[in-house]
Structures are given as structure tokens and as C-alpha cells.
């Protein structure tokens, strides 16, 4: 079949894979190739077991793979054939040299730019899909222009706003699509080519076009605002625990103001995930590098508050269990950074487990999707059991800590669990998902986040 256009995506990860699957589904007249330097990842994309778990993804991939969606390691051929190249490689926090621990590590990004100039033979639109520091497109353009080969590359920014666990829904029905470009004729034409892709299924009024720098910076700011809401509510949860106010009631009362809004106000053990912390630290680093120290300090507190919330959760477990957890079995319910994903990157569960192990607790971890990643995260540490069955994980335990808000944890038989545990039995509900009064009546000592404790010691 003759395709109208060829799209290439470099990077077959959490973003590249699902995003390209949806573009291919909605644009059958375009051929979409997804390439990666990791051959194992590509093999998985071509198998029955995809490398990532996302509701709805399997069905889409199975429907169109081999028709207009292809996963390959043929990067060179892909670059040559493509009209539009999305770059969706990882941009982690730098771990070395200048800006270590804060700045974005752009080495994968730069390598991609070098690959593109090496193999390209005609004009192309390069789309920044990865999350990048503001003004990265300028650096990209300099690299691409340095080739002196009379090929024109137009760089467009199109950041991704999907959240893990709801990626397919977010891609099919996004709140908005953001496309940033230069405002001259060539830039506007390139932006229009990207608008045309999304216009296949997204109403035009939801497609926002801006200048390049606004688009790049909007992505960092969007994540910073979301994370800031969580740190704000978590900071107040600490105050609630001192005053017998209830964080759930406060979130409802405050969020009912339509100017504030009700979403993203669930107090928790803290936010995790591969992006919030890295993107805020990147924002902090950028502000610092422009000499805007107050701006940097302001956003840095969002990350510090998140760390405080995780530490506070561990300290509370130790304090309430009579200041020692040595040789006590603690069951960790949920290891993923949020429900409906197997991803554990920056999951608060990692920190919580490590700290409890330092206190010589014996840990049993259960999670419906993340045990494989948990084993990798905690490799080399002793005194940990991994259990697929939560009842097994809790058997003989002194305490349960709810760390991920999996729906199934709401519906367990807690009477049965209580009977199998050591007494006094504790539950630390780090997500406020359980029926605390019912648990108290069963006999548990219950410690929610930002809500009064229910214990039998008073």
C-alpha cells in the first residue's frame, strides 16, 4: 500500500509506544515506524507481551501492527524514509558533572540529533516529544544546521501530557494538544503538518499552537503545578494530624471552589513516577541558571515537601509501633508509584521499604503488577518476601502499610487478614482508601494520612 506520509518515532518507551499506536490507529493513510536502540524492547513490542502495561494498548497494537504500525531497530532506514520524526527518548536527571541531580541529561537527545543528520537525505520536520528544558530546540537546530548538507530541518515542540495507567484514554481524549513552532512561514507550515495529524480525531479548538519556547516551558510548568497541588495538600495533612482536622474534608471543602477545582487533592505518601521530580528539578535548575534564585527556591520546596511526606510516613510507623520495628513483619500493600501500572520509578514504596529495612523490620511486598520491578529496585537487600497474594503477605505480620491505591485493596476480607496477623495489629493507610471505622471495629489500630487515628490504646 502507498502511504500518504511516513512518520518515524525514535524511542519506543512509555510515551513513544502508546502515542504512536494511537496516531497509527487514527491515521490509517500514514505509515508509522517506531524504532529503538534496545532490541529487547522492540522484540517485546512485536510479541504477545508488550513491554508496558496500559489498559486498551494491547487491543490497538494487535489491530494495526504490521498494517501501518511497525516496531523495528532499523533506525537508519527509518530516518531516511521519514517525512516527520518524533523524538521520544528518555531525558533523565543528570547524575554527573555540572548540574548533577537537577539538570536534564540530554545525551540521548543529542545522539538522536546526530543520527538524524548522519542519515537524512531530504528535508524533515523534527518533533520534540520528550520533555526538555526550555530553549532545547535552539540547541537542536544548531546541531542540525552544523551538517552543512543543504537539508532543511524544522523543529517543532509537541510535549506529551499522558499519565501512566490512563495513557490510551488520555491520548484518545486529551484535554489539549500543544504544538509550538517558530512563527515564520516555514515554522507555521511545519506546525500545521503536526496539527493535521491530531485533527484526525481531536477537535481543532483543543489543539493549541504557540511559539516554541512557550510550548517547551509549558510542559515543565504543567507537571510542576500538578505536583505542587499534591505537596500543598500533603503539607496540610501534617497539620491535620496535629489538630484533628480531616484532610479529606478539607480537600472537599477547598476543592469545591471552582477556581481551585477538586482533582489532584488526594493526600498520600507522596508523589512518585519518572517525571514530576525530574521535571521540577529541571525547572529549578533552569531558574537558577538565569539567576532567578527565589523562583528556584519556590519550586524546590515542592520536591522537599514530597520527601518530608515520605519520611513522615515512615517515622509514624516506627513511633506508633512503640518506637521499634526490629524483627517485626510489615506488609507493604502496593509497590507501583500509582495504581494501574507496573511502573515503580521514584515510587515512594522504594524509600519506605529501604528505611524500614534499616530499622531491621522484615518486609513482605505485594502488588498486582509491580513485583518484577520491585525485585529489581531492591536487588541485593535481605529480609524481603515478594507475595502475589495480599493475604499471604499479611499473614503473621504486625502491620500493613498501604502504599499504592489499588482498587482491589479496598475489597479484601480484612476480618480474615486481622485473624492471621500478630496483635496488636496496625494499618497505616498511606492513600486513605480503606474504611477506617470498619477496620477499627475489627480490632485494627488505624493510622490514615491527615485524619485522626483510630487506636485501641487510649
Pairing, β 84-87 against β 69-72: unpaired
Question: Which residue number is nearest to ligand NAD in terms of Cβ?
Answer: 13
Task: Estimate to the nearest angstrom the gap between the alpha carbon of 38 and the chain centroid.
Answer: 21
Q: Which is nearer to ligand NAD, 216 or 429 (CB)?
A: 216
Which triple of cell numbers denotes residue 17?
509506544
Confirm if 365 and 374 have CB atoms less than 8 A apart. yes
Residue 230 binding result from ligand NAD, ligand UGA, none, given CB thresholds of 5 to 8 Å by partner type: ligand UGA
DSSP characters over 357-392: HHTT-EEEEE-SS-HHHHHHHTTT--SEEEESSHHH
Q: Which is nearer to ligand UGA, 276 or 444 (CB)?
A: 276
164 binds ligand NAD (CB under 6 A): yes
Number of residues engaging ligand NAD in binding (CB under 6 A): 27
Task: Estimate to the nearest angstrom the gap between the alpha carbon of 253 and the chain centroid.
Answer: 28
* Residue with grid cell 515512615, as numbered in its chain: 314
Instruction: Work out which of 91, 237, 268, 309 binds ligand NAD, going by CB under 6 A.
Output: 91
Q: Which of 307, 304, 343 is nearest to 15 (CA)?
A: 343
* Binding mask of the shown chain, residues 250 to 269, with x at each position contacting ligand UGA by CB under 6 A: --------------xxx-x-
282 binds ligand UGA (CB under 6 A): no
The SS3 assignment for 84 reads strand
The phi and psi torsions of 71 (rounded to 5 degrees) equal -110, 120
Shortest Å, Cβ 383 to ligand UGA: 25
Confirm if 393 and 366 have CB atoms less than 8 A apart. yes
Q: What whole-number distance in Å separates Cα of residue 447 and Cα of residue 421?
A: 17
Q: Rounded to 10 degrees, what is the CA torsion of 237, 242, 248, 252?
A: -90
Shortest Å, Cβ 365 to ligand UGA: 17
Instruction: Work out which of 26, 94, 338, 398 binds ligand UGA, going by CB under 6 A.
Output: 338
* Kind and range of the H or E run holding 178: strand 177-181
Q: Which of 429, 241, 264 is nearest to 331 (CA)?
A: 429
Residue 342 binding result from ligand UGA, ligand NAD, none, given CB thresholds of 5 to 8 Å by partner type: none
Q: Which is nearer to ligand UGA, 162 or 427 (CB)?
A: 162
Which triple of cell numbers denotes residue 232?
500543598
14 binds ligand NAD (CB under 6 A): yes
430 binds ligand NAD (CB under 6 A): no
Helix 212-243 × helix 293-320 angle, to 10°:
40
274 binds ligand NAD (CB under 6 A): yes
Instruction: Work out which of 28, 37, 83, 211 binds ligand NAD, going by CB under 6 A.
Output: 37
Residue 247 Cα distances to 232, 235, 275, 308, 425, angstroms: 11, 10, 26, 17, 24
Rg (the chain; Cα; Å):
24
Active site (annotated) includes residue 275: yes
170 binds ligand NAD (CB under 6 A): no
* Kind and range of the H or E run holding 29: none
Residue 103 binding result from ligand UGA, ligand NAD, none, given CB thresholds of 5 to 8 Å by partner type: none
Candidate ranges 88-96, 224-232, 328-336, 407-415; the one touching ligand NAD (CB under 6 A): 88-96
Instruction: Work out which of 11, 165, 180, 368 binds ligand NAD, going by CB under 6 A.
Output: 11
Instruction: Work out which of 33, 105, 128, 160 binds ligand NAD, going by CB under 6 A.
Output: 160
Instruction: Work out which of 4, 43, 62, 111 binds ligand NAD, going by CB under 6 A.
Output: 111
Shortest Å, Cβ 243 to ligand NAD: 36
* Binding mask of the shown chain, residues 308 to 337, with x at each position contacting ligand NAD by CB under 6 A: ------------------------------
Q: What whole-number distance in Å separates Cα of residue 366 and Cα of residue 368?
A: 7
Q: What whole-number distance in Å separates Cα of residue 376 and Cα of residue 373?
A: 5
Shortest Å, Cβ 160 to ligand NAD: 4
The footprint of ligand UGA (CB under 6 A) covers 131, 160-164, 223, 226, 230, 264-266, 268, 271-273, 275-276, 337-338
Question: Hey, which residues are catalytic here?
Answer: 275
The footprint of ligand NAD (CB under 6 A) covers 10-16, 35-38, 41, 75, 88-91, 108, 111-112, 130-131, 160, 162, 164, 274-275
Amino acid at each position: 500500500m502507498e502511504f500518504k506520509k511516513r512518520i518515524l518515532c525514535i524511542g519506543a518507551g512509555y510515551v513513544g509506544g502508546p502515542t504512536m499506536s494511537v496516531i497509527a490507529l487514527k491515521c490509517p493513510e500514514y505509515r508509522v515506524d517506531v524504532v529503538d536502540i534496545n532490541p529487547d524492547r522492540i522484540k517485546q513490542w512485536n510479541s504477545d507481551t508488550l513491554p508496558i502495561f496500559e489498559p486498551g494498548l494491547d487491543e490497538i497494537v494487535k489491530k494495526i501492527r504490521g498494517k501501518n504500525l511497525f516496531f523495528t531497530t532499523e533506525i537508519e532506514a527509518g530516518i531516511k524514509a521519514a517525512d516527520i520524526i518524533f523524538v521520544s527518548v528518555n531525558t533523565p536527571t543528570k547524575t554527573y558533572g555540572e548540574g548533577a541531580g537537577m539538570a536534564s541529561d540530554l545525551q540521548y537527545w543529542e545522539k538522536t540529533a546526530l543520527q538524524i543528520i548522519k542519515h537524512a537525505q531530504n528535508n524533515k520536520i523534527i518533533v520534540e516529544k520528550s520533555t526538555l528544558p526550555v530553549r532545547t530546540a535552539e540547541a537542536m537546530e544548531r546541531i542540525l544546521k552544523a551538517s552543512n548538507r543543504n537539508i532543511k530541518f524544522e523543529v517543532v515542540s509537541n510535549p506529551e501530557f499522558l499519565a501512566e495507567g490512563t495513557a490510551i484514554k488520555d491520548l484518545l481524549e486529551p484535554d489539549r494538544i500543544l504544538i509550538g513552532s517558530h512563527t515564520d512561514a516555514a515554522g507555521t507550515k511545519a506546525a500545521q503538518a503536526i496539527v493535521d495529524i491530531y485533527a484526525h480525531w481531536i477537535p481543532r479548538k483543543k489543539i493549541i499552537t504557540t511559539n516554541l519556547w512557550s510550548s517547551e516551558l509549558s510542559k515543565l510548568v504543567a507537571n510542576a503545578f500538578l505536583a505542587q497541588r499534591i505537596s500543598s495538600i500533603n503539607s496540610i495533612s501534617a497539620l491535620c494530624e496535629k489538630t484533628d482536622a480531616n484532610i479529606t474534608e478539607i480537600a472537599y471543602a477547598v476543592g469545591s471552589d471552582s477556581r481551585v477545582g477538586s482533582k489532584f487533592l488526594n493526600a498520600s505518601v507522596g508523589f512518585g513516577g519518572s517525571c514530576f521530580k525530574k521535571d521540577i528539578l529541571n525547572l529549578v535548575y533552569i531558574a537558577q541558571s538565569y539567576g532567578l534564585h527565589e523562583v528556584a527556591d519556590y519550586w524546590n520546596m515542592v520536591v522537599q515537601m514530597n520527601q518530608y511526606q515520605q519520611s513522615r510516613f515512615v517515622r509514624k510507623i516506627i513511633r506508633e509501633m512503640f518506637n521499634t520495628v526490629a524483627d517485626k513483619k510489615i506488609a507493604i500493600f502496593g509497590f507501583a508509584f500509582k495504581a494501574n501500572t507496573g511502573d515503580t520509578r521514584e515510587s515512594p514504596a522504594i524509600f519506605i521499604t529501604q528505611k524500614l529495612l534499616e530499622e531491621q523490620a522484615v518486609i513482605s511486598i505485594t502488588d498486582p503488577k509491580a513485583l518484577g520491578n520491585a525485585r529489581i529496585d531492591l536487588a541485593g537487600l535481605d529480609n524481603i518476601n515478594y507475595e502475589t497474594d495480599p493475604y499471604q503477605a499479611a499473614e503473621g505480620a504486625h502491620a500493613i502499610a498501604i502504599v499504592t491505591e489499588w482498587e482491589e485493596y479496598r475489597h479484601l476480607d480484612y476480618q480474615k487478614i486481622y485473624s492471621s496477623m500478630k496483635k496488636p495489629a496496625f494499618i497505616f493507610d498511606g492513600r486513605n482508601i480503606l474504611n477506617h471505622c470498619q477496620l477499627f471495629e475489627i480490632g485494627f489500630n488505624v493510622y490514615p494520612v491527615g485524619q485522626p487515628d483510630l487506636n485501641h490504646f487510649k
